Amino acid sequence: MSLIETKDLVYLYGARTPFEVKALDHIDLRLEEGGIKAVIGHTGSGKSTLIQHFNALLKPAQGSVLFHGENINANKQTAYRTRFRIGLCFQYPEYQLFEDTVFADIAFGPKNMGMSEQEIDSAVRTAASYVGVGEELFDRSPFDLSGGQKRRIAIAGVMAMNPEVLILDEPTAGLDPQGRETILKMILNYRGVTGKTVILVSHSMDDVARIADEVIVVNQGKIALQGTVHEVFSHSAELTQMGLSVPEVTGITDRLRDMGCELPVGIFTVGQAADALADYLAGRIRK
């Protein structure tokens, strides 16, 4: 049984109006439990609409969404429960901070779940540790902190609900290189410590290549490609036609190969490029 499955999923914006748009077009998708799954696609491809169906924020015009084999839209109670079991953190979540203190903001979700005070305290401290927020910030106003800290606090608020699946929509958007690096390491740490399934929506092919185990490409409301990083990014021509690209380092190593460097194909991360170049240079020295 798949963790999340969509069957013949259709969603319409502006339904039954002259402006009707089919955002999702008969999508059949299966996501298995575990790992970091990246959802990519050009702006307007339908990827954000798709992930909002995973936790019943949007209801299909046609078809169904299953979580552990259960239709999440079977009734209002099922949909409500799913929103805690599948946590969704929107793009720029720091704009949704509103409490007086960092602790209160992280605790908001657990309170709505009806946790006891002791459970809330434990949930907040655990989530804060996942994102690298120290207890010395708990009594501070979130609005006095840096943009990167605000982002991590907002993400911690979703983690504190202990969802089975964590969905992050463009978690590195608008951050400087250091902030982006911090968020990526945070995601990898959370996945490693908890073993939970993470779904990442991203425009950065470099981020995807670095941390994802599986990639789902959405194009014109359909699933265009699904597979490992190597399987998906090997379709560079198709991705280009969809308005996407391969990781920047892939383009560099492709050019080096065209210039005569005997590098393997399928290099998608800086680490892979460094290893391949080291092997190439070592071989040149031996010759």
> Does 19 fall in a domain?
no
Same structural domain, 206 and 275: no
> Does 76 fall in a domain?
no
**Chain segment 3-56, per-residue pLDDT in tens:** 999 999 999 998 888 989 999 999 999 999 999 999 999 999 999 999 999 999
Residue 203 tokens, joined: 């425009």
pLDDT number for residue 155:
96
pLDDT number for residue 266:
85
| Gap between the Cα atoms of 5 and 243, Å rounded | 26
| 227 phi-psi bin (left φ>0, alpha ψ -120 to 50, beta other) | left
- Domain hosting residue 147, numbered range: 32-60+81-229
Same structural domain, 174 and 121: yes
> Does 162 fall in a domain?
yes
What is the torsional sign of CA 147, 151, 156, 161?
positive
> Does 2 fall in a domain?
no
> Does 65 fall in a domain?
no
Residue 100 tokens, joined: 């007086």
Give the length of the chain.
Answer: 287
Residue 175 is part of a domain; what is its CATH number?
A: 3.40.50.300
In angstroms, how far is CA 240 from the centroid of its own chain? 21
> Does 67 fall in a domain?
no
Same structural domain, 254 and 137: no
pLDDT number for residue 70:
96
Same structural domain, 180 and 286: no
Same structural domain, 115 and 203: yes
113: enclosing H helix or E strand = none
Same structural domain, 148 and 259: no
Name the stretches of the chain with pLDDT < 70.
Answer: 284-287
Query: What is the domain count for the chain?
Result: 2
Q: Which of 57, 50, 10, 56 is nearest to 31 (CA)?
A: 50
Per-residue DSSP letters for 56-83?
A: TSS--SEEEEEETTEETTSSHHHHHHHH
pLDDT number for residue 284:
61
pLDDT number for residue 276:
87
Place of tokens 């599986």: 214
| Gap between the Cα atoms of 144 and 127, Å rounded | 20
